[in-house]
Amino acid sequence: MKQRLLLVVTLLLLCTMAGLAQRAIQLTEILYDIPASPNGDPNGDGTRQSAGDEFFELYNSSAAPVDISGYVMVEREGQVVFTFPVGTTMQPGAFVVVFGNAITDPWGANLPAGTLKFSHYTGATNQGFGPVTTKTGTTKTNLASNGDRVMIVDPLLADTVAEVSWGWDNQVPPQKVLPLSSTGIYLDENHTVLGDSIMNSIGQAITVQRSTGKWGRHKEVASDTNTYFSPGAFPDGATGVEEQSDGLTPAQFELNQNYPNPFNPTTVIHFSLANESAVTLKVFNCLGQEVATVLDRTMGAGQFFVNFDASQLSAGVYLYSLKAGQNTQTKRMILLK
């Protein structure tokens, strides 16, 4: 009896841990149904393709690695169009980008260090996420601008990790492509920067604005409005540093050790706020000179995970200091290059 009870408790614990890991995975950017010219080459293979350059992007917002082996991407018609291979582990604060296809190797060379990159097709010509057959019998080889759905599903737990949908399908009359899961979001009204449907954003990525949690066309939420696409990066925030609260209210102010440490060139800084405060998070070199301001804003109570990119700094020992109201804590981190 005790052994059976222990087994049940263990299974519940594993499921709880898996659920927490899943909540750390966020769908942060989608590029779909783009013209063949003239705006860039997102997958970096040297060939501009309307379907092949499409991508979707995931981000691990937690302070721990997450194994996404076997997770699948499901498209509007319900067909699995990509499966993450065994051994795919997302590090804290890291991205995964999956392109429609890549023709040459290497590709995706401009992605940040630590970004995992995959291709639905490799060596193909202008193949996107498909091909699939719609309800009207037409063949669609890419994500559609009129309306589509991206679901990331863990088949082991039969659970949707992330889901985003937008626009209308090609039925007669057209129907909204609504989410299939309770946690999925439909990109209109309160879920978008402009409060309208995100459909027909041809030629631009749609991405979540980290400061608000709302989605928008990349060009409209990017600090660099000359850039249409940003696989493996957050478009809002010139420092490339963004925070994500897990929604829990902690009992006290606390600054945790960054992870990983040592690191190169990105690391995650975890801190807790018990009350709404004016927050500054700064980085100093060993001489006490300020080298980066990570955060400088008013923030509510919660636990936060901040991705810090030190690619512009030299290798060495640094101090990061968090001040919230009258509270201050400082810790050391090591940058290796």
Q: What pLDDT, in 10s, does the model give residues 118-158?
A: 999 888 888 888 755 556 665 677 888 888 999 999 888 77
pLDDT digits (tens, 9 = 90+) for 21-66: 446 788 989 988 776 655 567 888 888 888 888 899 998 888 788 9
In this structure, of 146-150, 195-199, 275-279, 301-305, the range with the lowest mean pLDDT score is 301-305
Tell whether the model's pLDDT for residue 183 goes beyond 60: yes
> Where residue 226 falls among pLDDT bands split at 50, 70, 90?
very low
Domains defined along the chain, listed by start: 22-221 (2.60.40.1260), 243-335 (2.60.40.2550)
Q: How high is the pLDDT of residue 35? A: 67
Average pLDDT of the residues in 292-321: 84
**Residue whose token pair is 């027909």:** 200
